[in-house]
Amino acid sequence: MTKALIVGAGINGLCTAWALLRAGWQVQIVEDGPIPNPLSASWDYHRIIRPHYAAFPGYGARIGAAHAAWEAVFADIGSAPYVETGAISISHQEGDPADISARSLAETGVAHEVLAPEELEKRFPMIESSTARFALLSGGGALLADQIITGLLRWLVARGAVLVPQCRVLAVDTARGAISTTQGAMQADQLIVAAGIGLPGLFPDMAAFTPRRSLVVYADPPPHWQAAWASGPCWTGIGGDDDCWGIPPIGDIPMKLGLGRLSRVANPQFDRPTSAADTAEILAGYIGIFKDAEAFRPRFTLANFYLMAPDERFLLQRRGETLVLTADSGHGFKFGALTGLDVAAALAGDEAAIMQRLAGY
Ligand SMILES: Cc1cc2nc3c(=O)[nH]c(=O)nc-3n(C[C@H](O)[C@H](O)[C@H](O)COP(=O)(O)OP(=O)(O)OC[C@H]3O[C@@H](n4cnc5c(N)ncnc54)[C@H](O)[C@@H]3O)c2cc1C
C-alpha cells in the first residue's frame, strides 16, 4: 500500500487524508499543535459556502462540485453538519461586488434570484433596503466547521490513519519527500505539505504568501429582529469596500459578523488578542447595512489567521517527492472536500491538469 505523509491537520490536510484513504492509501498526519488545533484557520463554529465571487467567477462555478464533495464526506462520517440558509449580496452602486457577481452568476448559469429593493424589504425586513439597487440571493449556507473536523477525525482514525499531534515540522527535504520534526525524521512514498500559515516558514520562496488577521464578532441582534434573523441568510460583499460578511444565528451559535476591510497582514504569534476597539469597529461597519445595528449586543470577538496568496489563487505544486498545497486566501474551507479529491486525483495521474485547474479558480 502506498503511504502518504501529510503536514497540517486543517481542513485541507484532513480532506486530503480522507480522499487518499478512500483511494487506498495509508495516511499519517503530523500537526504542530493538538488535533484538532483550535488555532488553525479551519477551526470555528462555521464557515460560509456560497457561489457569489465577484472577482473570482471560477470559484463560483465550482461551488456545485464543492457541495457534491461535501455530500460524499457527510455520507462517510454519518452526519451532515451543514445548514442551508441561502446567501445574499447587496448592490449599492454599479460595479460593486454584488453587481459583478450578479453578472457572473448569470453567465456561468448558477441559480440565483435578483431582488428589487421592495422585494428585499418584504423578504428580509431586518436588512436595510433603502439604499440598495438590488439584492442577489443564491443557495449557500454554513458548514459547521468544528463538527465536520471532529467527524472527519473519527472517520480517519477508524480507518487506520495515524495522527501525530504536537509535532512541528522543522525542515522539508522536498527532493526526498522527507521531513525533520520535533519528534524526529519522517518519510513516506508521498509527502504533502498543507501547513496553512506555516508554509512560508518551511519554504522561504513563499515569503509573498502572507498571514492575514481576520476578525469576527459574535453578537445578538436586538430582540425585535431575532425571529427575522433566525431564518436569515448568510451574507457577503455588502457595503462596497467594507465587505460585510457573516452568518445568521444558528441554533445556539450567535450571529457572526465580519468586515473584509479589516483583514490585514499581521503576526499570528502576537496579534491574536482582540480589543474593544476591534469589536466596536466591526459593529460600526454594519450601521446602515442592518437595521438597528447600533443596538446589536456583542458576545465575544475572535481573531484568526489565514494564508493569503499574492494572486488569491489556490496552489498545488510538485517539488520533487513533495506536493505543496494551499487552497486558502480566506476562501478555502468551502472547497476543502473538493480540494482533497483534487489532490487524490492528481496523485492518481492527473497531476498537471489538476494543478492548472486549481490555479485557475
Ligand atoms: C476568520 C476566518 C473566517 C473565514 N471564513 C471563511 C468562510 O466563511 N468560508 C470559507 O470557505 N473559508 C473561510 N476562511 C478560510 C478558511 O478557513 C481557510 O481557507 C481554511 O481553513 C484553510 O485550511 P488549511 O487546512 O489550508 O489551513 P489550516 O486550517 O490553518 O491548517 C494548517 C495546519 O498546519 C499546521 N502547521 C503549520 N505549520 C506547521 C509545521 N511547521 N509543522 C506541523 N504542522 C504545521 C497548523 O498548526 C494548522 O493546524 C476563513 C478564515 C478565517 C481565519
Ligand 1 pocket mutation, candidates 5, 18, 32, 269, criterion most atoms within 8 A of CB:
32
Residues 230 and 248 sit within 8 Å (Cβ to Cβ): yes
Q: What is the pLDDT of residue 60?
A: 85
> Distance from the CA of 315 to the center of ligand 1, in angstroms?
14
Q: What percent of the chain has pLDDT over 70?
A: 100
Ligand 1 pocket mutation, candidates 148, 193, 306, 334, criterion most atoms within 8 A of CB:
306
Q: Helix or strand or coil: residue 316?
A: strand
Residue with the three cell numbers 433596503:
129
Q: What is the pLDDT of residue 157?
A: 98
Strands 3-7 and 190-193, sheet pairing? parallel
Is the minimum distance from the CB of 211 to ligand 1 under 6 angstroms? no
CATH architecture assigned to 3-46+145-204+310-359: 3-Layer(bba) Sandwich (3.50)
pLDDT digits (tens, 9 = 90+) for 56-74: 878 888 899 999 999 999 9
Q: What is the pLDDT of residue 59?
A: 85
Closest listed residue to residue 174, CA positions, set 350, 358, 5:
5
Intervals of the chain under pLDDT 70:
none
The 10 Å Cβ neighbour count of residue 113 is: 13
Q: What gap in Å lies between CA 303 and CA 149, rounded to an integer? A: 20
Nearest ligand 1 atom to alpha carbon 37 = 49
Q: Helix or strand or coil: residue 94?
A: coil
Q: What is the pLDDT of residue 54?
A: 79
Q: What is the pLDDT of residue 360?
A: 75
Nearest ligand 1 atom to alpha carbon 199 = 38
Nearest ligand 1 atom to alpha carbon 201 = 41
What's 87-138+210-308's CATH class? alpha beta
- Please give the grid coordinates belonging to residue 178: 522527507
pLDDT digits (tens, 9 = 90+) for 170-211: 999 999 999 999 999 999 999 999 999 999 999 999 999 999
> Distance from the CA of 59 to the center of ligand 1, in angstroms?
18
Closest listed residue to residue 330, CA positions, set 311, 309, 306:
306
Q: What is the pLDDT of residue 1?
A: 76
Domain boundaries, the chain: 3-46+145-204+310-359, 87-138+210-308
- Please give the grid coordinates belonging to residue 75: 455520507
